[in-house]
Amino acid sequence: MTQDVEMKDNQTPTQSVVSAPTSTLQNLKEIAALIDTGSYTKEVRRIARAVRLTVGLRRQLTSSVISSFLDFALVPGSEAHTRLASFVPKSDEHDMEVDTASSNSQAPPKHLPAELEIYCYFIVLLFLIDQKKYNEAKACSSASIARLKNVNRRTVDVIASKLYFYYSLSYELTDDLAEIRSTLLALHHSATLRHDELGQETLLNLLLRNYLHYNLYDQAEKLRSKAPRFEAHSNQQFCRYLFYLGKIRTIQLEYTDAKESLLQAARKAPVASLGFRIQCNKWAIIVRLLLGEIPERSIFTQKGMEKPLRPYFELTNAVRIGDLELFGNVQEKFAETFAKDRTHNLIVRLRHNVIRTGLRNISISYSRISLQDVAQKLRLNSANPVADAESIVAKAIRDGAIDATIDHKNGCMVSKETGDIYSTNEPQTAFNSRIAFCLNMHNEAVRALRMEIQEPEVAKNPEIEDTIEVAKQRRNEEVEDCDEQQHKQHQAEEDEEDELRKLLLSDIGELPISPPSATQVNFVSYFITDFTKSGHDQYIYRHANGLCVIGLAPTHIAFKDEGGITNVDFNVGKSDRSVLKVSGKRKKNALRSESNTALCKVSTAKDSYIVRCCVKGSLLEVNERLIKQPELLNSSADREGYIAIIMPRPADWTKNKESLITLEEYKEKKEISL
C-alpha cells in the first residue's frame, strides 16, 4: 500500500500567536483559550483555526511542553489526565523549569469542555507519531476513539476527523489495519446518523484505504456506491477520495473514468503534498498507457518528480517504441519499485499494448512480411513463435488495430495500401445520400399537411353533396396553386444556381492574363506624391483590419539615380527604429508617430533621401531585412521591400485619407501603367 501523505493546510500561525519570544506552552494555552471560546459560542470556525495553529506548532512539541499543557488543561489526577500522562515520557528538570515558569502567566479554564479534552488526545497522539512510538500511539488513539463515542457535538467534528485519520495511520504503521475495520464501519454509521459530514468523508476514505490495502476492490466499490452523497467539506479528503476512486476504476478496467479521477486528484491536490501528487501521476501514467495514449514529457519533468517518475518514463518510452525486449528489461529493472507502488499487475497488462504498437509499426513499414520475421521483430520468446505471431496478427486485424490480411499459404502478413478517401467519389456519394434523405423528409412533411376531405355516409342530402363538390373544387385549385408556386420557386432556385455557377466558374475568356496578387486582393492602394519634397512619392497599402503598409512608390526620386538604392538606415530622429520591439494585444512599446515623422534614410550613389510615415498612428514594425538587403527596394519595393507597418486610429485615418490619392488617380497623374 502506498504511504498516505498528510496534505497540510498552507497556513501558519499569526505573529500574535507564534513569535520568537513566545514559548510553545504559551501558544498552546492561547489555543486552549480559543477552543474554550469556540465551545462556549458553538463556533466551529474557531475550533478549525485551533487545529490549523496546532499543525504549525507540531515540530516544537516536546515531552515537557506536553506534560505542562496537560497539567494546565486537565484536572490533575482525573481519569483523562492520568491516562494521557502515562503516554508522555518524563522530561528533564531544565525543560520543566522553563515551562513551569511560563505556566503561571495564564490561569487554567474554570470548566473543562469536551472539545479541550479531545484536543489533548489530539496533541499527545501527534507527539507520539512524530516520535515514532507507534504502539503507544495505537493505545492513545484507541482511547481517544472510545472517548469520542460518548461525545455528540458539532464543534468536536473538526478535531474528531483528525483523530480518525491518525487512528488509522497508527494501526497502518504497525501493519494492523484489519483490526480496526469494524470500528471504522461503526464510526461511519454513527457519523451518518449524527449528520457529521466531515467525519463521514474522512471515515469513508479511511475505509476505502483499508480495503485497498488488502486488495479488496469489490468490497471497496460496494461501500463507495452505497455511501451517502454530500458536498465535500475538505479539499484534502476530496482529493483522497478521487485517488481511491481512480484506483478502483483502474482495477475494474474502466480506464476512462479512472484517468479523469486521477488527473483531477493531481490537479486539486495542494502544492505542498508532493508525495500524494507523485502517486496520482504514477497511476495516471499507467492508465493513459493502457488507454493507448502517450503521456506528455512535461509530466515527467515536474519539479521534484523527475527521480520518482523515472521508472515510469522509461516504461512509457518502451511502450511508445513498441519494443517488447526493452519493455521486459524495464519491468525487470524496476520490479521492486513497481511492487512497492502496487502497479506491477497493471504493467503486466501493458504487454499487449507494446506488441500492438510494434505490430502497427511493422504494418506501416512493410507491405508484405513473413510471420517468422514478424515474430523476430516483436522478439517473441516462445516455443512456437510463428504460431504466436499468427495469432497476434489475427487478433490485431480483428480488433481493427492494423489494416492487413494473413496469407496462410505463404505464411506472411500483407498490409493493405492506405489511400486518401477524399480522392475518391465516396464523400460525394455520402453527401448526396444525406441531401436526398433531407429533401425526401421535407416532401413527405408537405404532403402530410394536405388534409383529405372524406365523404359522409349521409351523401343523399343534396346540400351536403354540393358542399363537398365546392370543397373538392377549392382543394384542387389550392393544390394547383401550390404546384405552380413550387414550380416557380424551383425555377427561381435553378436561375440562382446558374448565376452562382457563372460567378464561381467564370468564362475562361473573361479571366485576366495573370491572377491578381495578394496585395491587390487583400489591400486597398493609396498614394501620396511630392510629400514634403518634390519626387518623394510613397504608397500606403491599407488592410481591412486597419493596418497600413508604407513603402516607396515606383516614381520615387531615389529609383531614378544610377545604381538605385544602395543603403537603408533606420537610425533617424531620436531613436533607432530597427530596435523597436512591440508585444502583446495592446501593442506595448509601439512608437507614436506623426505623418511627417522620419522612418528611415535611403541612400544612392549620388544622394540620400528621408522616408516619412505619411499617416499618423502607432509604428508597429520596420522591415529589418532592408538593412542587409537594400536591393529589395530596387527589385520588389511593393512586396518584400516595404518600409514599415503603422496602425492609425480611425479618426486619424479619416483625416489623412483626404490627402491621399487612389491607384487610378496616381496612374493618371504620373502617366504610368502598373
Q: Is the pLDDT of residue 471 over 80?
A: no
**33, 571, 572, 606, 640 from 631: Cα distances, Å:** 84, 19, 20, 16, 10
Task: Select the more confidently predicted residue: 71 or 509.
Answer: 71
Cell of 388: 504466436
Identify the CA nearest to 31 among candidates 120, 97, 101.
120
Predicted confidence at residue 552, as pLDDT, reads 93
**How does the average pLDDT of the chain come out, rounded?**
80
Statement: residue 443 has pLDDT above 70 = yes
User: What percentage of the chain reaches a pLDDT higher than 90?
Assistant: 7
Number of Cβ within 10 Å of residue 504's Cβ equals 7
Please state, in angstroms and rounded to a whole number, the distance separating the CA atoms of residues 152 and 449: 70
173-187, 324-338, 441-455, 533-547: range with lowest mean pLDDT: 441-455
How large is the average pLDDT for residues 219-231? Answer: 81
Looking at the chain, the whole-number percentage of residues with pLDDT higher than 70 is: 87
pLDDT confidence of residue 646 = 93
Q: Is the pLDDT of residue 176 over 80?
A: yes
* pLDDT band, residue 507 (cuts 50/70/90): low
Give the distance from CA 416 to its chain's centroid: 37
For residue 122, the tally of other CB atoms under 10 A from its CB is 21
Reply yes or no on whether the pLDDT at 457 is more than 60: no
What are the tens digits of pLDDT across the range 614-649? Answer: 999 999 999 998 989 998 888 888 888 899 999 999
pLDDT average, residue stretch 453-462: 48
pLDDT-derived band at 478, boundaries 50, 70, 90: confident
State the pLDDT at residue 21.
Answer: 35
For the cut 50, the answer to whether the pLDDT of residue 436 exceeds it is: yes
Q: Which residues pair with 275 in a beta bridge?
A: none
Strand duo 608-612 + 548-552: pairing: unpaired
Checking if the pLDDT of 158 tops 70, the result is: yes
Q: Is the pLDDT of residue 422 over 90?
A: no
Q: What is the pLDDT of residues 329-368, one digit of tens each?
A: 888 888 888 888 888 888 888 888 887 887 777 777 777 7
CA 10, distance to chain mean position in Å, is 24
Give tens-digit pLDDT for 86-116.
877 775 544 443 444 344 444 444 467 778 8
Q: 192 is written with which cell numbers?
A: 451518518
- For residue 641, give the DSSP letter: T
- pLDDT, tens only, 481-503: 777 888 888 888 888 777 777 66
Mean pLDDT (whole number) for 142-149: 83
Task: State which of 172-176, 291-295, 403-407, 526-530 shows the largest mean pLDDT.
Answer: 526-530
> Using an 8 Å Cβ cutoff, are 276 and 5 in contact?
yes
Q: Report the alpha-carbon distance of residue 322 to residue 597 in Å, rounded.
A: 63
Phi, psi angles (nearest 5°) of residue 359: -70, -35
Residue 464: what pLDDT?
A: 57
pLDDT of residue 14: 38
Average pLDDT over residues 149-172: 83
The pLDDT of residue 450 is above 90: no
pLDDT of residue 302: 86
**Is pLDDT larger for residue 510 or for residue 368?**
368
Q: 217: number of CA atoms within 13 Å, CB side?
A: 12
* Structure confidence at residue 419 as a pLDDT band (50, 70, 90): low
Q: What is the pLDDT of residue 528?
A: 92
Check residues 428 and 228 and name the one with the higher pLDDT.
428
The reported pLDDT for the residue numbered 412 is 81
Confidence at residue 503, expressed as pLDDT on a 0 to 100 scale:
66
Q: What is the pLDDT of residue 466?
A: 63
Question: For position 240, what pLDDT does the model report?
Answer: 87
Instruction: Report the half-sphere exposure of 435 (CA within 13 A, side-chain side).
Output: 6
pLDDT bucket at 203, cuts 50 / 70 / 90: confident
Name the residue among 584, 641, 665 with its Cα closest to residue 618.
Answer: 584
Mind listing the pLDDT tens digit for each residue in 528-584? 998 888 889 999 999 988 899 999 999 998 888 888 899 999 888 777 888 888 888
Write down the pLDDT at residue 416: 74
Backbone phi, psi, residue 421, to 5°: -65, -25
Residue 136: how many other CB atoms lie within 10 Å: 19
| pLDDT for res 648 | 92
The DSSP secondary-structure symbol of 322 reads T
Distance between CA 585 and CA 125 in Å, rounded? 57
| Rounded CA separation 259/276 (Å) | 16
